[in-house]
C-alpha cells in the first residue's frame, strides 16, 4: 500500500500516539514483523559488531530499534521528520526501558551536521515515501542519496526495504556511491498467474 502524502503522516502518528497512551500498544508496524526479522538476521549473519553505529531512517514508532536493542545492539539512533513519530517512539522506548536508544526529529533531506559516522543505515519505507512526494520527487531522491553518502561511513552498509521499487530500479537510484551486496528474500505474491515480489529488500555497501 502506498504511504499517505506528507501531512497525513503526522495525523497517522498522532492517532498512534493516542492509541498507545490509551492501551499501551505500539500500533501498526509498517511492513510487518518479517521485515525486521530479515534485517536482524542479516546483521547477525554478517557478524556486524553489536557496538556498530546504526541509524534508522524514518524510525516511525521506533519498534525496529527496540528489536535491535533486544538483539544486543547498543549504539542505536532513530530519526523521523514527524515530531509525533518521535514522541511515539520515545514512549515505546520508555515502556521497554531502553533509554540508550537515541531519537531525534530530523529531515533526512537536510540532515544536521552531527548526523554522521554511521556504519549501518536502515530504511523501511522512507525512500518510498520521499519518492511518492508529488513535489519534485526526482530531486528529492537525488538529495536522499547525497544525504546517505554524508551520514554513512565508507564501506558502511545500507539496508533498504521498499514496496514501490524493483531491484533494478533501486540499483539505478543508488548507483552513485553504492554497490549491491545482496538481495534479501521477501515474500512472493501471485497476481493473474504471474509471480512477483510485493517487497524488495537489498543490502548496499558504500564505496
Could you tell me the pLDDT band of residue 186, with boundaries at 50, 70 and 90? Answer: confident
Could you tell me the pLDDT band of residue 27, with boundaries at 50, 70 and 90? Answer: very low
The CATH code of the domain that includes 88 is 3.40.50.150
Q: What is the pLDDT of residue 170?
A: 96
For residue 194, the cross-strand partners are: 191
Query: H or E segment at 67?
Result: helix 63-70
Q: What is the pLDDT of residue 89?
A: 95
Q: What is the mean pLDDT of the chain?
A: 87
149 belongs to a structural domain: yes
Residue numbers of the domain that contains 89: 31-161
Give the count of beta carbons closer than 10 Å to the beta carbon of residue 144: 20
146 belongs to a structural domain: yes
CB burial of 29-56 (b: ≥16 within 10 Å; e: otherwise) equals ebbeeebbebbbebbeeeebeeebbbbb
What domain count does the chain have?
Answer: 1
Task: Give yes or no for residue 114 having a pLDDT over 80.
Answer: yes
25 belongs to a structural domain: no
Q: What is the pLDDT of residue 74?
A: 98
90 belongs to a structural domain: yes
Helical pair 6-23 and 83-95, crossing angle rounded to 10 deg: 30
**Which residue shows C-alpha cell 533498504?**
160
Task: Give yes or no for residue 60 having a pLDDT over 80.
Answer: yes
Alpha-carbon distance of 202 to 3, in angstroms, equals: 20
23 belongs to a structural domain: no
Amino acid at each position: 500500500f502506498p504511504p499517505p502524502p506528507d501531512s497525513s503522516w503526522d495525523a497517522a502518528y498522532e492517532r498512534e500516539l493516542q492509541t498507545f497512551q490509551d492501551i499501551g500498544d505500539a500500533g501498526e508496524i509498517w511492513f510487518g514483523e518479517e521485515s525486521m526479522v530479515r534485517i536482524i538476521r542479516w546483521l547477525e549473519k554478517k557478524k556486524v559488531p553489536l557496538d556498530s553505529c546504526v541509524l534508522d531512517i524514518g524510525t516511525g514508532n521506533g519498534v525496529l530499534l527496540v528489536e535491535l536493542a533486544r538483539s544486543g545492539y547498543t549504539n542505536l539512533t532513530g530519526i523521523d521528520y514527524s515530531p509525533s513519530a518521535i514522541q511515539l517512539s520515545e514512549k515505546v522506548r520508555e515502556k521497554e526501558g531502553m533509554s540508550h536508544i537515541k531519537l531525534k526529529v530530523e529531515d533526512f533531506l537536510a540532515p544536521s551536521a552531527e548526523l554522521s559516522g554511521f556504519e549501518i543505515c536502515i530504511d523501511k519505507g522512507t525512500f518510498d515515501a520521499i519518492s511518492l512526494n508529488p513535489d519534485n520527487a526526482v530531486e528529492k531522491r537525488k538529495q536522499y542519496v547525497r544525504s546517505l553518502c554524508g551520514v554513512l561511513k565508507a564501506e558502511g552498509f545500507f539496508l533498504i526495504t521498499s514496496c514501490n521499487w524493483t531491484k533494478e530500479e533501486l540499483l539505478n537510484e543508488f548507483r552513485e556511491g553504492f554497490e549491491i551486496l545482496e538481495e534479501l528474500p521477501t515474500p512472493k505474491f501471485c497476481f493473474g498467474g504471474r509471480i512477483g515480489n510485493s517487497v524488495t529488500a537489498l543490502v548496499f555497501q558504500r564505496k
